[in-house]
Structure 1
């Protein structure tokens, strides 16, 4: 691991750390000597995570529920006082077809609550401690679909686009206050959530290592794998890249 990722006895908060990219972040930080605090909704997975990475702190928290976020923030605030890193990773993605009947009977805004509202609430709750421990860092796990929406997941795409907008505005508000924000926009990642996806996928470990190194440098945006072409192609051939991503 790069030396600039190590940070003995300092605290990192990782949401959704029990699987996928979140677990990869937990593993990288644990190896680097960080005190890791993570949360999730599945007590069994969290127990397994704590067994695999001795010394980490695990808590139940549904980031899509404000009361749950408030309880988690209160708990973390009472125990950990040198929070140097917040990784807003928890979230989810569903495929929703708005041409189907009776769609309103479904919970259509689940991704908005988990991917956007939860990030806003958790960041607001932990920001005073991050500012007090500056220099500190926030990582926002966005998505390539936040730049260019995918047809099969319109609400997910909207939530990630909203997250990118929130991140940019928050970065301007925090300028000069010792808190840097890194937005990572991964492509398809080889996680349990992407088991049904047949296209090219990158490893969650690669995303975590690349992003942590970038965050410690204060880098604002990270585009792992195939997404590295997105900003460039959106300027050069926006219609072509939108049509390509829409069908992915």
Structure 2
């Protein structure tokens, strides 16, 4: 896909991977509209020339408000990048069920709801894409973040089946699986982290090449291990 002159809706575009992705897509000539929850970060991106829509995607009301704000505009690329991480470890004490619900909605329900709302508009374009940002943890989960892992595995399954449903249409469904990336979400994670600009660059490459699936950084190794022995991959990741 040629990104130049494409209209892009990028969720979670005010920080981390999303911010770098917005910048790189804009540099290639796309018109990028971002979403986020933090007004200061959104204003920072507006100062860089981006249109920014304030939207809390952890509930249906927020998603519906975003769809309403988008209106009848043409769209070529939907990037479901926004995500939340929630601490859900019974070894530390009772988890916060409300926080888990918000994480599930933001990471899984919101992308499904956005795709459902915007596929009719995407289908009108000569070429279009839905890009779902999942995680290497969608392949094998980590003990520390079971809710996050479950949502990313769910979005991976949704991406696989949606791709099959949309065969023969102009819409390409692309799943990208980042490793641990150096973002605010992973500030407390001691593991080696990929720089956000590098991760964003590989996502852009996946969009341009039309790949169905892009395993990024160390996820390539995890994917290789999983292809040989799923049980071994799970044992390795469950240590974290």
Taking structure 2 as the reference length, what is the TM-score of the superposition? 0.94
Other structure's SS at 1:183 match: strand
Which residue does the alignment assign to 1:29?
25
What's the CA shift for 1:219?
Answer: 0.6
Which residue does the alignment assign to 1:65?
59
What is the distance in 2 between the residues matched to 1:136 and 1:68?
24
Q: Is the 8 A contact 1:40 1:62 kept in 2?
A: yes
Q: Is the 8 A contact 1:186 1:207 kept in 2?
A: yes
What is the distance in 2 between the residues matched to 1:195 and 1:100?
19
Q: Is the 8 A contact 2:36 2:54 kept in 1?
A: yes
* 2:207 paired residue among 206, 211, 215: 215
Which residue does the alignment assign to 1:194?
186
Q: Note if 1:243 corresponds to 2:240.
A: no
* 1:42 paired residue among 1, 17, 38: 38
Per-residue deviation, residues 62-101 of structure 1 (Å, max 9, x unmatched) = 11221221121122123x22x1111100011122113455
* 1:162 paired residue among 154, 157, 174: 154
Per-residue deviation, residues 138-181 of structure 1 (Å, max 9, x unmatched) = 11100011110100001110000000000011111100111001
* 2:69 paired residue among 63, 75, 78: 75
4+ runs deviating over 6 angstroms:
none
**Greater shift after overlay, 163-172 or 236-245?**
236-245
The change in CA–CA distance for 1:106 and 1:132 in structure 2 (over 3 A counts) is closer
Q: Note if 1:142 corresponds to 2:134.
A: yes
What's the CA shift for 1:231?
Answer: 2.2
Unaligned runs of 5+ in 2: none
Q: Is the 8 A contact 1:5 1:29 kept in 2?
A: no
Per-residue deviation, residues 20-43 of structure 1 (Å, max 9, x unmatched) = 011011011111111111111111
Unaligned runs of 5+ in 1: none
Cα RMSD of the aligned pairs, angstroms, is 1.6
The change in CA–CA distance for 1:104 and 1:202 in structure 2 (over 3 A counts) is closer
The change in CA–CA distance for 1:87 and 1:99 in structure 2 (over 3 A counts) is same
Q: How many residues align?
A: 240
Q: Note if 1:224 corresponds to 2:221.
A: no
